[in-house]
């Protein structure tokens, strides 16, 4: 409220004029001052009530710029640039079908209206990690669901990586009454473990379902009627392990590019949100199939001279294309289903890999100049974004959670050798992410995107 003017002097004040006309004028002035004060008081009261009301009914769906700069949601990331048109996202391949021959001959019609509806308002791949002095939202002591093989503090990891964080807020309010599923490999599970820990600080989830291998699992938050699910798939496509000469499964897979996995696609009906991700299982020796015959391989140089090694980026493009087209055509799915693709999450092994001396013992994020834009991680991110742009216009919507560059800088955020050795003896994990840790940011980005799409709650 504006400060009040000082009171008028009393009648005996020497400042009052002595003349009769001066006295009359002074009375008029005093009356005008009182009227002005009453008017100022009324205006101030109206302004105060307006501010109070607007703060009570503040909507979750702010603009992306406001939310990213005003909320602690993404306070740890310095986002100084708005979303430009990505030069590396321009389409040079088609999308309508998923066969090899058609992929080589059809033309690209450009980004669909449906895909553009979810275009990022702010490019979070452009930014840097900044120090956050407060502790994480949850710890290994406050999250009972935290798996031991990601519980880095319990097994001695320095806690410096915890202070570069994102803090999700109001997630449960945004997803009230909805069903959301993470669809992917162990990094999808990494993200859902993070989300469970974050949300459990507000409401304890109820464990509803788990299959025998813990690959398909469902939780429910009864106070918000929110259902959270995880669905396992290594490749999106139908894939079976290659059987060795001894009759036992090997680490290689036969990947059928023209068939989606039935386990996860059969669970799509009823979902409001689907978060798909993947890419890491393509780096082993795998074989590509189409039309019932083997057409090529991945990482197989020298293994079979008669097979063409198509490369990881090609295979990722094919399965992402098939997955999003399959979701777009899903006959039993809600027309309002929204699908996000979380872009590729890189590893940070140095001097080796899991069991041959590899490690990741850095204690601070990499600088931007230390991150290569020529890496396979960046190429896979480009491929994923291109395929999401190509998805044909349907009543369903598609978007991207672009976390790749942010995670390329977080070489300090992996367990390394700080995990329960019962899971992997004499090994280092530089692929998955510590909890709490940088992976919590993914859910901050997810909340931001969901908040942009969710109508604000009705004022009470």
16 assigned to some structural domain:
no
d(Cα 64, Cα 268) in Å, to the nearest integer? 28
29 has a pLDDT exceeding 60: no
432 is catalytic: yes
Mean pLDDT score, 271-282: 97
Give the ranges where 411-453 is alpha helix by DSSP (H).
Answer: 440-453
15 assigned to some structural domain:
no
Q: In what order do the strands lie in the sheet with 286-290?
A: 237-243, 249-260, 286-290, 293-298
Peptide bond into 436 cis (omega under 30): yes
Q: Which residues contact 49 (CB under 8 A, 6 or more apart)?
A: none
Instruction: Specify the pLDDT at position 272.
Output: 97
How large is the greatest C-alpha to C-alpha distance in the chain, in angstroms?
120
DSSP 433: -
| 170 and 51 housed in the same domain | no
d(Cα 236, Cα 278) in Å, to the nearest integer? 8
Q: Which member of 193, 347, 429, 440 is catalytic?
A: 429
Q: Which residues pair with 50 in a beta bridge?
A: none
| 336 and 290 housed in the same domain | yes
CATH of the domain at 441: 3.40.50.1110
Q: Which residues pair with 231 in a beta bridge?
A: 183, 216
Instruction: Specify the pLDDT at position 66.
Output: 38
458 assigned to some structural domain:
no
| 134 and 153 housed in the same domain | yes
d(Cα 233, Cα 236) in Å, to the nearest integer? 6
Q: By CB neighbour count within 10 A (0-12 exposed, 13-18 middle, 19+ buried), where does 79 fall?
A: middle
Mean pLDDT score, 15-27: 44
By C-alpha distance, which of 8, 448, 433 is closest to 192? 433
| 131 and 48 housed in the same domain | no
14 assigned to some structural domain:
no
243 has a pLDDT exceeding 70: yes
Instruction: Specify the pLDDT at position 393.
Output: 64
429 is catalytic: yes
Please tell me the pTM assigned to this model: 0.69
46 has a pLDDT exceeding 60: no
353 assigned to some structural domain:
yes
| 109 and 222 housed in the same domain | yes
Instruction: Specify the pLDDT at position 326.
Output: 96
In contact, 420 and 145? CB cutoff 8 Å: no
CA atoms within 13 A on the CB side of 429: 23
| 355 and 379 housed in the same domain | yes
224 is catalytic: no
62 has a pLDDT exceeding 50: no
d(Cα 422, Cα 239) in Å, to the nearest integer? 28
Instruction: Specify the pLDDT at position 17.
Output: 36
| 52 and 187 housed in the same domain | no
| 36 and 90 housed in the same domain | no
CA atoms within 13 A on the CB side of 156: 7
Q: By CB neighbour count within 10 A (0-12 exposed, 13-18 middle, 19+ buried), where does 367 fall?
A: exposed
310 assigned to some structural domain:
yes
Tokens 């807020």, located at residue: 169
Instruction: Specify the pLDDT at position 392.
Output: 67
400 assigned to some structural domain:
yes
141 assigned to some structural domain:
yes
- What backbone phi and psi angles, to 5 degrees, belong to 313? -60, -40
Q: Which member of 238, 348, 418, 432 is catalytic?
A: 432
| 4 and 120 housed in the same domain | no
In contact, 446 and 401? CB cutoff 8 Å: yes
Antiparallel, parallel or unpaired: β 293-298 and 286-290: antiparallel
| 247 and 333 housed in the same domain | yes
Cα separations (Å) of 44 from 6, 35, 51, 86? 17, 14, 11, 48
pLDDT digits (tens, 9 = 90+) for 327-342: 999 999 999 999 999 9
| 355 and 424 housed in the same domain | yes
**pLDDT: which is higher, 129 or 268:** 268
**DSSP three-state, residue 288:** strand
Q: Which domain range does residue 45 map to?
A: 1-8+21-56
pLDDT digits (tens, 9 = 90+) for 374-425: 999 999 999 999 999 998 666 789 999 999 999 999 999 999 988 776 766 7
Residue 145 in tokens: 């669901």
Instruction: Specify the pLDDT at position 48.
Output: 52
Q: pLDDT class for 81, splitting at 50, 70, 90?
A: very low
Cα–Cα–Cα angle for 349, 233, 94, nearest 5°? 90
Domain count within the chain: 2
Instruction: Specify the pLDDT at position 54.
Output: 41
**pLDDT: which is higher, 28 or 181:** 181
Mean pLDDT score, 276-290: 97
70 has a pLDDT exceeding 50: no
Q: Which member of 186, 254, 263, 304 is catalytic?
A: 186
| 210 and 190 housed in the same domain | yes
């Amino acid at each position: 409220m504006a400060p009040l003017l000082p009171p008028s002097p009393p009648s005996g004040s020497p400042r009052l004029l002595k003349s009769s006309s001066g006295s009359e004028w002074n009375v008029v002035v005093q009356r005008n001052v009182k009227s002005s004060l009453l008017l100022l008081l009324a205006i101030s009261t109206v302004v105060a009530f307006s501010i109070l009301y607007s703060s009570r009914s503040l909507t979750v769906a702010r603009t992306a710029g406001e939310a990213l700069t005003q909320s602690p949601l993404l306070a740890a990331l310095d986002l100084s640039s708005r979303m430009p048109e990505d030069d590396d996202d321009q389409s040079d391949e088609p999308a309508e079908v998923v066969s090899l021959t058609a992929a080589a001959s059809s033309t690209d019609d450009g980004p669909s209206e449906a895909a553009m509806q979810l275009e990022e308002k702010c490019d979070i791949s452009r930014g840097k990690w900044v120090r956050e002095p407060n502790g994480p939202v949850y710890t290994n002591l406050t999250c009972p669901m935290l798996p031991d093989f990601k519980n880095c503090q319990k097994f001695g990891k320095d806690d410096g990586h915890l202070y570069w964080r994102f803090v999700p807020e109001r997630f449960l309010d945004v997803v009230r009454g909805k069903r959301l599923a993470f669809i992917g490999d162990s990094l999808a599970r990494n993200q859902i473990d993070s989300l469970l820990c974050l949300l459990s600080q507000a409401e304890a989830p109820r464990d509803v379902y788990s299959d025998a291998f813990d690959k398909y699992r469902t939780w429910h938050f009864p106070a918000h009627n929110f259902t959270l699910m995880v669905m396992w798939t290594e490749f999106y496509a139908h894939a079976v392990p290659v059987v060795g000469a001894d009759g036992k499964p090997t680490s290689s897979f036969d990947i059928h590019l023209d068939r989606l996995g039935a386990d996860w696609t059969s669970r799509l009906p009823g979902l409001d949100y689907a978060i798909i991700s993947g890419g890491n299982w393509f780096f082993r020796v795998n074989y590509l199939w189409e039309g019932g015959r083997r057409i090529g391989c991945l990482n197989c140089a020298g293994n079979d001279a008669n097979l063409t090694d198509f490369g990881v980026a090609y295979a990722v493009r094919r399965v992402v294309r098939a997955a999003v087209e399959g979701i777009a055509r899903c006959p039993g799915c809600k027309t309002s289903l929204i699908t996000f693709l979380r872009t590729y999450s890189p590893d940070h092994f140095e001097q080796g890999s899991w069991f041959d001396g590899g490690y990741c013992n850095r204690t601070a994020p990499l600088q931007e100049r230390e991150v290569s834009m020529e890496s396979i991680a960046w190429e896979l991110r480009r491929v994923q974004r291109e395929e999401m742009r190509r998805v044909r216009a349907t009543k369903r919507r598609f978007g991207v959670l672009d976390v790749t560059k942010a995670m390329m800088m977080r070489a300090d955020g992996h367990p390394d050798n700080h995990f329960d050795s019962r899971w992997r003896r004499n090994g280092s994990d530089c692929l998955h992410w510590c909890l709490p840790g940088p992976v919590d940011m993914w859910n901050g980005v997810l909340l931001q995107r969901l908040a942009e799409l969710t109508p604000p709650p009705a004022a009470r």
